[in-house]
Every structure is written in structure tokens, then in C-alpha cells.
Amino acid sequence: MLATLGVVFPVFALILLGYLARRRNVLGPDAMTELNRFVVWLALPALLFDIMSRTAWASLWQPGFVAAFGLGSLLLFGVTAALRARGPRHLADASLDGLNAAYPNTGYMGFPLCLMALGPESLPLVTIATILTVCVLFAAAIVCIEIGVQEERQPAKLAAKVGTALARNPLLVAPALGALASGTGLPIPDSVGSFLRLLGGAASPCALVALGLFLAQQGTVRGKDLNGTLLLVALKLLALPVLVWLLATQVFRLPPLATHTAVLAAALPTGTGPFMLAEYYRRAARMTSATILFSTVLSLVTVSLYLAWIG
């Protein structure tokens, strides 16, 4: 557990830093919104473009791993969103719930944890899991949210409006352009690559500080929001890794390294992606922020138990 705490500590520290900065009025009431805009419009697109542009398409050819981890994430996202949308919850909010249940913090925590537990051979697989999370799953959630927030109900006009909104969304355009650059072999100058890595490196820290700012302003969840939060945390920390394990071992018969990497990535707590989307689309973010915080705390136990189980 101490080793897991070493990986999780920076996440706690950055959230606490944002919380204290707002409580002591070091950062003002608009800081959270502006910091999140910086992440969504500048830092995260740079990170996504950089990841995709430096990833050779051939290295992504791990069909069993992609199927087990990607299918598990998309299935849980879809089922959670569909069930939550059956009640009075808006489709956009239900989509955020689905993302909370299926969006592991692979980019920030997956690499150091898998390197520590499984060795350097697992890192290419963690890269694939990160791409599936921050590109594929993220894109699916954005499409569902856009469908939910559009007022137009006629199918043709709705499709046109959603398509236009998606084409302008930097979180979809950036990885698509990065994949295009990689596929065409377009060389990225070293100076541009350094710029992208410098800017993209600010995405996760700034998002976590923004989360701390939000928690300082909104307080804790109660009542139905607390029940919903606990449900999403259980789905994230228990249902997703179990689903991925079943797919990896019983359906696609992955070797041990690929199985453990997929399950460990799935067992990570909810990342900051859902919070950024909630703020970007101006949806209620209290449950999302609580899910990130609670799942991060409880993952100390669940991840440590899994590491102990696999030896």
C-alpha cells in the first residue's frame, strides 16, 4: 500500500493545493473556470496531439488488449449512461456519469504504477490504454453530450449540429490531427515537439488544481448526490476491472502481462477528464468531483489488494 500511496500522493497534493489556494483566497472565484479553459483549449489538446503524433500505428496493433480494455470501458460507459438516462437525469449528465464509471487515470497514474508493479514491458500497453481512454472513450462521451445539449430534435438537423460542434471541439480535433501526422509520417520539428510536451505537461496538474478549487467552492456531496457518487465509485473501482479481467481471461485469452496491465489500468481511480467536460459544457460537476476524490482515496485499498493478489 505504501508503494501505491507514493503514486497517488501527487494527485492528492495537487487537489489539496487548489483547495487551500481558494480557501485562503490566493486564487479568486473565477480561477477554476479560467484554469479549466486553459486545460481544455490549450494544454490537453497539445498533450493529445503529441501522444498521437508520436505513436506509430503499427505499435497499436494489439487486438486482444485493445478489445479487452477498450470494449470493457465502452460497455460500462454505455450501460451506466443508459441506466442513468432512464430516470430524470439529462442525457448529458448521464453521459458524464458513464464517463466517471469508465475513465481511469491511466495517463497520470498508470505509467508509474505499472512500471513499478509489472516492469517496463508493460509501458507500451499502458500507452494503448491511455489512448483508448483519452481519445476513444472521451470522444464517445463528447458525442453523447453534444446530442444531449442540442435543442434540435429532427434527426438530420440534429446530426448536422452535432457534427459541426464536434468538428470545432479541440479535444477531438487535436488527436485526429496527431493521428494523421503519425500515419502520413509528417516530421515534427524538435522545437515544436518540445513546445507540445511543455504545454501538454501542464494539463493534468492544472486540472487537478482546478478540481481542488471547485471542491473549495462547492463543498461535499449529500443525499442523492452522495448515493450516486458511491455507485459510480463502485462501478469504477470494482465493476470495470472485473469486466476487463473477464474479457481478458475468458474471452480473448490474453497472456499474463497483458491481462495484468489491462486490469491494473482499469482499476485506477477516475481521472480528471469527466470534470473538465462537466465544466466545459457547464453541467453540474459536484458528483463528478466527488467521484474523482473518493475513487482516488479508495483506490489505495483496491489497487493494493490486486497487486498483492498477483504477487
Domain boundaries, the chain: 2-310
Which helix (H) or strand (E) segment holds residue 9: the answer is helix 2-23
Fold of 2-310: Na+/H+ antiporter like fold (1.20.1530)
Longest dimension (CA), the chain: 55
Closest listed residue to residue 279, CA positions, set 24, 33, 3, 27: 33
Q: Is the four-CA dihedral 98, 99, 100, 104 of positive or negative sign? A: positive
Three-class SS of residue 139?
helix
Backbone dihedral region for residue 126 (phi beyond 0: left; psi -120 to 50: alpha; all else: beta)? alpha
Give the residues across from 270 on adjacent strands: 104
Give residue-wise pLDDT tens across range 135-152.
Answer: 889 889 988 998 888 765
For residue range 260-293, what is the model confidence (pLDDT) as tens digits? 999 999 999 998 889 888 888 888 888 898 999 8
pLDDT digits (tens, 9 = 90+) for 39-83: 889 988 898 898 888 877 777 788 999 999 999 999 999 999 999
> Positive or negative CA dihedral for 184, 190, 196, 202?
positive
pTM for this prediction: 0.83
| Helix/strand/coil for 24 | coil
Task: Find all residues with CB under 8 Å of 229, minimum gap 6, and list them.
Answer: 221, 287, 290, 291, 294
What is the 3 state secondary structure string of 211-258?
A: HHHHHHHHCCCCHHHHHHHHHHHHHHHHHHHHHHHHHHHHHCCCCHHH
Q: Which helix (H) or strand (E) holds 288?
A: helix 286-310
- Using a 10 angstrom Cβ sphere, with 0-12 exposed, 13-18 middle and 19 or more buried, the burial of residue 20 is middle
C-alpha cell at 198: 511543455
Count the neighbouring beta carbons within 10 Å of the beta carbon of residue 192: 12
Confidence band of 170 (pLDDT split at 50, 70, 90): confident
